[in-house]
Amino acid sequence: MITIHHLNKSRSKRVIWLLEELEMPYNIVEHQRDPMTNLSPESLKLIHPLAKAPVIVDGDVTLCESGAIMEYILNQVPSNTLRPNVDSDAYYHYLEWLHFAEGSLSLPVISSLIMSMETRDGTKPLDGYIAKELQLDLSYIENTLRVRRYFSGDCFSAADIMMTVMLEIAENLGLLENRPKIIDYLASMKQRQAYQKATRFG
Ligand SMILES: N[C@@H](CCC(=O)N[C@@H](CS)C(=O)NCC(=O)O)C(=O)O
């Protein structure tokens, strides 16, 4: 049975909602935000190094990213009606909005949320947030690439194409100091013939 690690007032509501729509059974482990910092507690870090909600655990699978978790759950119920058929026009609308929520919309919305928070000492909360999140994400990526050649395992996949283009931006901004695995990975991606063909277009 799927266990959801739920953080109060968080995106993990998406996962509970989906499981309820599908009438699937689940266990829930509740984690409470630190009342001072609003951040997740240590208990969530024990489940996943990013310490973000949602995280699900199902047997050997531990998965973060709410969009990926939605897909995982839908795969458990092939007859579900919550994911349009792949041969329909609706499927591509579905795919676009599924990724849009976290891919494009969350950056301006969450930045606005952070900027709306007051700090007692007058510091800019967004600066601290970006620095912390960046190091957290880059450490997670660096550690993943220590144990895997590609993001999904031993084989190159579309996930590598998605990740490489964002990591290149980070590299160009000088954000990859002390990240040898990411730098090596980017160098190997840039060797790919298809990457080089794509790069001809600027
Ligand atoms: N893109 C991730 C975002 C995860 C995320 O940022 N979760 C927030 C709650 S909505 C969190 O755990 N915040 C607590 C923290 O950063 O310490 C997803 O969709 O799952």
Q: Give the tens place of pLDDT for each residue, 111-166.
A: 999 888 866 667 778 888 899 999 999 999 999 999 999 999 999 999 999 999 99
Q: Containing domain of residue 109, as a range?
A: 84-117
pTM summary value: 0.93
Cα 88 to averaged position of ligand 1 atoms, centre (Å): 31
- What are the backbone angles phi and psi of residue 103, rounded to the nearest 5°? -75, -45
Q: In whole angstroms, give the CA distance from residue 94 to residue 99.
A: 9
Could you tell me if the CB of 12 is within 6 A of ligand 1? no
Instruction: Give the three-state DSSP class for 72.
Output: helix
Do 71 and 88 sit in the same domain of this protein?
A: no
What value does the mean pLDDT take over residues 97-115?
95
Residue 182 token pair:
């990411």
Here the CATH number for the domain that contains residue 26 is 3.40.30.10
Could you tell which of 4, 7, 8, 11 is best to mutate to test the pocket of ligand 1, judged by most ligand atoms within 8 Å of the CB? Answer: 11
Q: Which is the closest atom of ligand 1 to the Cα of 101?
A: 19
Give residue-wise pLDDT tens across range 64-99: 999 999 999 999 999 999 999 999 999 999 999 999
Residue minimizing CA distance to atom 3 of ligand 1 = 65
Residue 123's Cβ-count burial label (10 Å; 0-12, 13-18, 19+) is exposed
Tell me how many helices (H) and strands (E) the chain has. 9, 4
Do 154 and 140 sit in the same domain of this protein?
A: yes
Do 60 and 99 sit in the same domain of this protein?
A: no
Do 110 and 125 sit in the same domain of this protein?
A: no
Residue 63 token pair:
């998965």
The CA-to-CA distance between both ends of the chain, in Å, stands at: 48
CB neighbour burial string for 169-178, b if at least 16 within 10 angstroms, e if fewer: ebbeeeebee
- What are the backbone angles phi and psi of residue 6, rounded to the nearest 5°? -105, 135
Number of domains in the chain: 3
